[in-house]
Amino acid sequence: MATLSEIQKWLDDRLATLLAEYEVPGAAVAVSWRGEVIDAAAGVLSKATGVEATADSLFQVGSITKVWTTTLVMQLVDEGLVDLDAPVRDYVPGFVIDDEAAAAAITVRQLLCHTSGFEGDIFTDTGNGDDCVEKYVAQLAGVTQLYPPGEMFSYNNAAFSVLGRLVELVRGKPYATCLREFVFTPLGLTHVANDANEAILHRAAVGHIRPEPDADPVPAPVWSLMRSMAPAGAMLAMRPRDLLAFAQLHLDGGKAPDGTAVVGSDSVKAMQDRQVELPPLGMMGNAWGLGWEIFDWQGSTVIGHDGGTIGQGAFLRVVPEYGLAVTLLTNGGTMIGLYQQVVGHVLRELIGLELPPLPTPPADRAPLDDVTRYVGTYSCDVADITVSQDDDGRVWLDHTPKGEIAELGGKPDPVELVRLDGDTLITLEPQQGFHQPQAFIGDDGSGRALYLHSGRAMRRAQS
């Protein structure tokens, strides 16, 4: 096995070359093991300015924020102010969705582990005031319930803005203030920002996007998503070392380096306990805890989370049995490929744990003869997905965004699907370096799949 100093040398020698290979403008990495932390960085924070990335540069962590929001909620559980199995309406009376019975029944726990069942990709900008999360929750009134609360996993961004509002109401303070007072400060974090106004005080990365699928990444036109989605991961930014200080909190039973109890040990354990199992979805884990994603890798349990914002991508993996945490923060390009190389090398060399390969279409693909179970339209508030078969027997997935999502970008081209395994198909061509599995689950009563699941469940439309 390698030493941490050998990992440091590998990062110093190889990171810049790997960035060029995967067209990633800039990245920063940190590894925490046996009480020691190393970090490294390469590339630029923005191709427009040429400012070099350093280990102290801030990158957005995206949906890794959801674990921070969960920590704020679990602090309230520790204090006896919140019951995980109580209806969220006990704490957020203004929580209303289209299905009144579901709104009254959904629990805090279900929000935390993505089993609440309502449409979660609602990206509504309600301004930059301290009331933006409150306004966001109020506009969920017409959102559709996709399946009964607790029935299955479906990734839900909106749920975490509801949880952010819960924290605000119980604490009587804005979400950003709660993060700083109850997490940043007790952990002694120095390079962390709630928004662009705070990020500008540091060296901050700018996201990069590809104007066309084969184009070089260019700086994104805006720095972040809307503040109303901050509890879900729209804005939080930090250097890798500060992200690992947060991860270490969850390795040390909820205690800060000075021994201060930031969150209870029982809550730390509860966050890492399996709450719901997932279908095979490629990059996603095998199960979800409270906030944490859970991976089963070669007999080891790994916890973590990924995050994606406008042209930035973040990866965090923690192996509790080895006391190891590693994070990679990036600002564009083929970020998943870089993750496979960097995080894969760290885990393999330090603890002998192999990163599972990403799913790819089988070389000896079974023909898709009878696709009656799969074809049709699957619909939610933000998109329609139509699965069809052409005259040559090829199966296609056509994604049509709706509402505000449609306004953010154009309609993607149809993608061809082939069989991966059982009732899971997979995109034949990669998108951003990844072949996305599409799991067809359930039964609509006539043998057809009731849901199409790619991390988010979409219900078959009535026909």
> How confident is the model over 249-274, as a mean pLDDT?
97
Residue 431 — φ and ψ, nearest 5°? -115, 120
pLDDT digits (tens, 9 = 90+) for 387-419: 999 998 999 999 999 876 555 556 788 999 999
Whole-angstrom CA distances from 3 to 36, 51, 302 are: 11, 31, 20
Helix (H) or strand (E) run with residue 101 in it: helix 100-105
pLDDT of 135 above 90: yes
For residue 463, name the pLDDT band (cuts at 50, 70, 90).
low
> Would you give the DSSP letter of residue 120?
-
Tokens of 278: 């997932």
Neighbours of 446 (CB within 10 A): 7
Q: Which residue among the candidates 32, 46, 57, 63 is catalytic per the annotation?
A: 63
pLDDT of 274 above 90: yes
**How far apart, in whole angstroms, are the C-alpha atoms of residue 166 and residue 338?**
36
**How far apart, in whole angstroms, are the C-alpha atoms of residue 79 and residue 163?**
16
Specify the pTM.
Answer: 0.96
For residue 289, name the pLDDT band (cuts at 50, 70, 90).
very high
**Contact call for residues 386 and 374 (beta carbons, < 8 A):** no
Q: Average per-residue pLDDT in the chain?
A: 95
pLDDT digits (tens, 9 = 90+) for 301-319: 999 999 999 999 999 999 9
pLDDT of 33 above 90: yes
Catalytic status, residue 63: yes
pLDDT of residue 18: 98
pLDDT of residue 407: 59
pLDDT of 45 above 80: yes
Residue 156 — φ and ψ, nearest 5°? -140, 100
Whole-angstrom CA distances from 406 to 139, 235, 360 are: 18, 22, 29
Tokens of 170: 């119980």
For residue 365, name the pLDDT band (cuts at 50, 70, 90).
confident
**Contact call for residues 75 and 171 (beta carbons, < 8 A):** no
Residue 234 — φ and ψ, nearest 5°? -80, -25
pLDDT of 211 above 70: yes
> How confident is the model over 123-149, as a mean pLDDT?
96
Least confident window among 234-248, 266-280, 351-365: 351-365
Residues 6+ apart with CB under 8 A from 414: 396, 397, 398, 399
> How confident is the model over 98-120, as a mean pLDDT?
97
pLDDT of residue 196: 96
